[in-house]
Amino acid sequence: MQSSISPSFGAAPADVPFIDTLRQSFYGRIFLAVSATALVALGAHVSVPLPYTPVPIVLSDFAVILVGMVLGPVAGFWAMVLYLAEGAAGMPVFSPQGPGGVLQLVGPTGGYLFSYPIAAAITGFTGILARGGRTAFTSAVLTGTVGVGVILSAGAIWLGHMGYGNSSAWTAAVAPFLFGSLAKVVAAAILFSSTRRWFCPPSR
Domains, the chain, with CATH or none = 18-199 (1.10.1760.20)
Residue-level pLDDT at 198:
62
The larger pLDDT score, comparing residue 5 to residue 68, is at: 68
C-alpha separations of 189 from 62, 63, 96, 124, 195 in Å: 10, 12, 27, 12, 10
Classify residue 107 by its DSSP letter. S
Distance, CA of 74 to CA of 59 (rounded, Å): 22
pLDDT in tens, 33-54: 999 999 999 999 999 999 999 9
CB 103 within 8 A of CB 88: no
Residue 66 pLDDT level (bands cut at 50, 70, 90): very high
pLDDT in tens, 98-118: 999 999 999 999 999 999 999
Residue-level pLDDT at 22:
81
User: What mean pLDDT is reported for the chain?
Assistant: 88
Residue range 56-64: mean pLDDT, rounded: 97
Give the 3-state secondary structure of residue 51. Answer: coil
Closest listed residue to residue 158, CA positions, set 121, 80, 106, 103: 106
HSE-up of residue 27 (Cα within 13 Å, Cβ side): 0
Residue 3 pLDDT level (bands cut at 50, 70, 90): very low
Contacts of 182 (CB under 8 A, 6+ apart): 145, 148
Global pTM value: 0.87
HSE-up of residue 180 (Cα within 13 Å, Cβ side): 15
Distance, CA of 187 to CA of 37 (rounded, Å): 19
Residue range 178-192: mean pLDDT, rounded: 97
pLDDT in tens, 125-172: 998 888 877 899 999 999 999 999 999 999 999 999 998 988 899 999
HEC sequence for 151-192: HHHHHHHHHHHCCCCHHHHHHHHCHHHHHHHHHHHHHHHHHH
Residue 197 pLDDT level (bands cut at 50, 70, 90): low
pLDDT in tens, 77-102: 999 999 999 999 999 999 999 999 99
12 pLDDT above the threshold of 70: no
Q: Which helix (H) or strand (E) holds 159?
A: helix 136-161
